[in-house]
Amino acid sequence: MLQAISPQQQIHNRQLIENKKLTFHILSDPGNEVAKRYGIRYKLPDDLREVYTSFGIKLHEYNGDYSWTLPLPTRLIIDQDGIVRYAAINADYTVRPDPEETIEALKRVMGQ
Amino acid sequence: MKLQEKLSALKKDFEAKAAKNVIEIMHRATEDLKDSGIVERAVKVGDKAPDFFLKDESGREISLKGLLSQRPIVLSFYRGIW
């Protein structure tokens, strides 16, 4: 099963699910505290923060805090023993693995 | 079209319109993040995934342990709708 997790507040996750008719749930991770424990939380530099603000992106309103942190886009497969079996993490948020790659990896984990 | 092709097209479209200094700031932030070594220090294959206890969009409390009691999961960290 797919479990999404985002620093944004519940209401935005709910809106996203309704708008996109998503069939999975999204957890709120306030302050990216869980992302931190997975080693993927980072703080936006000041100049990028200003760029986002100039775009009208009020990150503090979405996320409900002023930490200006985000998670690296990350896709993991975790087996029933709680062990990470697949990790796709990129420092460049414009690069994402193809869903097919993750599905193939999941089949390998499930097939054992 | 593959996901990455769509994303790359979006990026190209955005950068064709954006101010040069804005693009520079965004690119530099990405390069700095790569150089910071965050990916190398992040969770990796073979690691025990830290347990968590978080609320979903309806306010239901969900733990990793609970999720794994049924089956393996794909966990996807997502930045936001903005």
- DSSP annotation string for B2-34: -HHHHHHHHHHHHHHHS-HHHHHHHHHHHHHHH
Pairing relationship of beta strands A26-28 and A2-6 according to DSSP bridges: parallel
The answer to whether B40 faces chain A, any CB pair under 8 Å, is no
Chain B residues near residue A48 by CB distance under 8 angstroms: 25-26, 29
Q: What is the pLDDT of residues A13-51, one digit of tens each?
A: 999 999 999 999 999 999 999 999 999 999 999 999 999
ipTM of this complex > 0.90? yes
CA torsion A6-A62-A30-A74 (nearest 10°) is: 20
The answer to whether B18 faces chain A, any CB pair under 8 Å, is no
C-alpha distances in Å from residue A98, one per residue of A2, A95, A103, B10: 15, 9, 9, 16
Percent of chain A clearing pLDDT 90 (strictly above): 96
Residue at B44 is within a domain: yes
Among A47, A76, A92, the residue with its CB nearest the CB of B75 is: A76
Q: Do B50 and A27 touch (CB under 8 A)?
A: no
Total structural domains within chain B: 1
Q: Which two tokens stand for residue A85?
A: 């079996």
Q: Do B44 and A82 touch (CB under 8 A)?
A: no
C-alpha distances in Å from residue A106, one per residue of A23, A95, A101, B26, B77: 18, 20, 9, 33, 17
- Its domain, for residue B12, covers 3-68
What are the DSSP E strand ranges found in A7-110?
A: 26-28, 41-43, 69-71, 74-78, 84-89
pTM of the model: 0.93
Average pLDDT (A74-88) is 98
Among A8, A35, A95, the residue with its CB nearest the CB of B4 is: A95
Split at pLDDT 50, 70, 90, the class of B1 is confident
What's the pLDDT score for residue A112? 67
Taken in order of first residue, the domains within chain A and their CATH numbers are 4-110 (3.40.30.10)
The chain B residue lying nearest A29, using CA atoms, is: B54
